[in-house]
Amino acid sequence: MITVLLQMAAIIVCGVLWRWLRPGGMDLQAMRRALTDLVYYLLLPALVLQVLWRSPLGVDAVQVAILAAVGVIAGMLLMWMVCRMCRMPRAAAGALLLATMFPNATYLGLPVLEATLGPWASRVAIQYDLFACTPLLFTLGIVIAHHYGGQGRGGPMWLFVLRIPPLWAALLAVVLNLGDVPSPVVVDGVLRILASGVVPLMLFSLGLSLTWQRARWRQLPSVIPVIVIQLVLVPLIVLGLAGVMGIKGGLLSAVVLEAAMPSMVLGIVICERYGLDNGLYATAVTATTVVSLLSLPLWIGILHRVGGI
C-alpha cells in the first residue's frame, strides 16, 4: 500500500512541479481548467457510467450513502462547535465548515480505493460521492455558504446542479442497471478507454491546485481543527457506525477510507462564489492533502487490525 500511495503522490508532485516550473509558459489556470473540464464533462461521466451500469445496486449502496451523509453531518457539527468556541469571522467559519464537511471522495478517494482494494471499490467511491456528498454539497453546503458569505450570484444553485454530468451519468447508469440493459461490447470498450484517463489526470490536476505561498501557511493554525476532524474524527465515527450496521470486510474499509480523505478541491469555487475565505479554504485543502499521505496508511493499518482488509 505504501508503494501505491508513493506512486499516486509522485503524480501529484508532477502537478506541483509543473505549477512551479511552468514548462511551455502555458497559463496555469487555463491548463488546470482545461484538464478538470475534460475529466468533469467527459472522462468521469464515462467512468461513472461504466462502473455503475454493471455494479450491483442493493443494500450496500444505501449503506454507503447513509455513512457518507453521517460523515458530512458529523464534520459539520464538530467544526461548528470549534468555530463557536473560537469566535471565528463568518467568512473564515464558512470556509472551514465546507472544508471539514466534504471529502475529496472522487478525485483522490477513487484512485486510493481502486489501488488499495481493487477495481470493485471504485463503485463505492462513486456512490459515496454522487449518492450523498454531491447532493448535500449543493443543498446543505450552499445554504451554509450563503449564510456565512451571502454573496451568491449567477442564478439559482439548483440550475447548476442540473449541469453536473457525473450526476446525470449516475442516474442513467442506475436506470440501465435496474432495467438489466446489457452493455454493448463497443460501448463498454469506449467507456473503458475514456475511464482509464480519469485517475492520472485527477491526481495531476490535484497537484496543480495545491497552493504553497508562504503567506497562506500563516493560516495553518486555523486549519488544524480541519485536519483533526476530517482525517481522524470523522473516519472514527464512520467506522463505529459501520460496525453497528454490521458492515465488514472490503466495504468497511472502502467507506472508512472515503471518510478519511482530505478536503475536496471544488469548495474553492463555492467559497469564491459566496464571498467566503477562499485563501483559508485553499490552505485547508493543501494541508489535509499532505497530511493524508501519512494518515491514510495509518487508517489502512487500523482496518487490517479490525478485519476490514
Type of residue at 137: L
Instruction: Identify the residue whose cell numbers are 485563501.
Output: 279
- State the average pLDDT over residues 90-112: 92
Task: Check pLDDT > 70 for residue 72.
Answer: yes
Looking at residue 124, its pLDDT comes to 94
Which residues 6+ apart lie within 8 Å of 304 measured at CB?
none
Give the pLDDT confidence of 132-160 residue by residue, as tens digits. Answer: 998 898 889 988 998 898 765 555 555 66
Residue 27, classed as helix, strand or coil, is coil
Section 18-44 average pLDDT: 84
pLDDT (0 to 100) of residue 214: 62
What single DSSP character describes residue 238?
H
> Mean per-residue pLDDT for 178-187?
90
Per-residue confidence band for 85, with pLDDT thresholds at 50, 70 and 90: very high
239-249 in b/e form (b: 16+ CB < 10 A) is bebbeeeebee
pLDDT digits (tens, 9 = 90+) for 249-292: 999 999 999 999 999 987 887 887 888 998 899 889 989 988 99
Let me know if 307 is exposed, middle or buried by CB neighbors in 10 A (0-12, 13-18, 19+).
Answer: exposed
Residue 264: name the closest of 67, 107, 69 by CA: 107
Q: How many CA atoms lie within 13 A of 164 on its CB side?
A: 18
Going from the N-terminus, what domains does the chain have, and what CATH number goes with each? 28-305 (1.20.1530.20)
pLDDT at residue 212 greater than cutoff 70: no
pLDDT at 216: 62
Q: Is the pLDDT of residue 307 over 70?
A: no
pLDDT above 90 for 99 = yes
Instruction: Evaluate if residue 192 carries a pLDDT over 80.
Output: yes
Using the predicted structure, report yes or no on whether residue 235 has a pLDDT greater than 90.
Answer: yes
Average pLDDT rounded to a whole number, residues 161-186: 86
Which percentage of the chain shows pLDDT scores above 70? 92
pLDDT in tens, 33-64: 888 888 888 998 998 898 888 887 888 999 99
Q: What is the pLDDT of residue 259?
A: 97
User: Between 20 and 209, whose confidence is greater?
Assistant: 20
Please, what is the end-to-end C-alpha distance for the chain in angstroms? 11
Are the C-beta atoms of residues 93 and 277 closer than 8 Å to each other? no
